[in-house]
A and B are shown apart, each in its own frame.
Chain A
């Protein structure tokens, strides 16, 4: 095969000369007639007897496929996998799918037209074609028109072909050798290609893996996450008193948090706890106590809270006899208005919460000073 010549090529000066030569050479039936020209020549397809390009059909099919793909994809996502209602439209509103359907149709169709033409129909890229290394190539991409008689079988007679070309008016006749080896389908080539694909896959896979790991963690701009703000229990230089948390401006009344015990503590002694003593109320009281009172008064209401040391203050030991003798109303008053260093909690606790915590404090006091009588009540 390698000793055989592949084709005989001759040059023409004008497209007219080329067109006149084509029928003569085709009639000679020495081989496939192919033309090489710097630009497309009108009517040469018919002259060479080329079959019609199937590209139109391919593009139509792929375009329709693109439209269906886009519709199916959008429908599945919007109506089935992740149905959220936006803008009051139904999850399967086809109207909104049309723009993307159109774009994907065009995308599929153009890639079929472009790549289908290059890769499938013209079998490019192909760097090993003998014409590419011919002397005539320089003219072909410039201003010469070439005709080639290409071998159809082993019986190709290059001398006869050269003669026929000359008779048809061609100049600079050149006999092109078949390439030493086909650039495709040698074991070496296949191995290298497969190796290349493998390496490419490896690199792409690693790259994508690391990108996916790394990208979402990227945060070049953190101002929105790390902004200066006041924490409730932290010191802050922003306020004069150095506290992060500030009591409400005196006289502030939050909605639903009416301060009721506004008189003196003594006057509040007559107030009666309106809440029943049941499980729910104690649970509520306990929740309020642990979140609001415990840091200072301690879990056992003995004045040994975790903040005591930090502040150097001495919160009341609610287990002291003085406080055990308090009527409910006086404890309630202290919760609402605060006492000594303790701030008022009127702005934070609703009326039922305040009374619930009173019940809970009572329970703590009784628990710390339990008698045998109490045990009898618990275990009937």
Chain B
């Protein structure tokens, strides 16, 4: 057994690769903008001022105003808060049941696992956006069905990854050894399972949030998600699109914000090989 494994050539611990650092930094900045922004910016994102319609960037309005003369800075801050918040809630609502059901399936096996696998397969067989549209039909323009529909499609990833990983860990000899030494299921869960699945869940969470942000803006852009005048990034793009010729940068601003949010999350989520 004269292997290289005995020697350590690993990257020194505690330092994230540059890409992940950049992603994290980007998210912190955007997070500040989304959380503190709406409090610091006095302007009401819905207050209209037709005299300032499509005001240029840098004048009375720092980032200009849209066709109704609403402050774009205020609308972007509120939009970012909405996207972030909704994505975070969606991720939580998908991750919690997904992880718990995954653990249950791996632990109990048998019928529990078969039933959960079947449910997961059914959800996967439905196109995700269709599920959301179906729920939205009940209460158009509301937050609740949007968020519920998205988490209903996103939990499967958490469930599948948790189940597969937990199952392979549970099959390892050190779990059998721990049981023979008298350790209970609770100890095994906290000390042996969670440390293995936690990093994977963190990565999945970032991906799920990115997916949720894109989905919410997409749905609002095709006018089935959140309705105007809610300052939602996707619907802002669509509202400003007719004025593209006069104010091209105005249209690009919400789009840029979406790109930066998703980029930050994707960079943060990338594996250690990055």
Note whether A and B form a binding pair. Answer: no
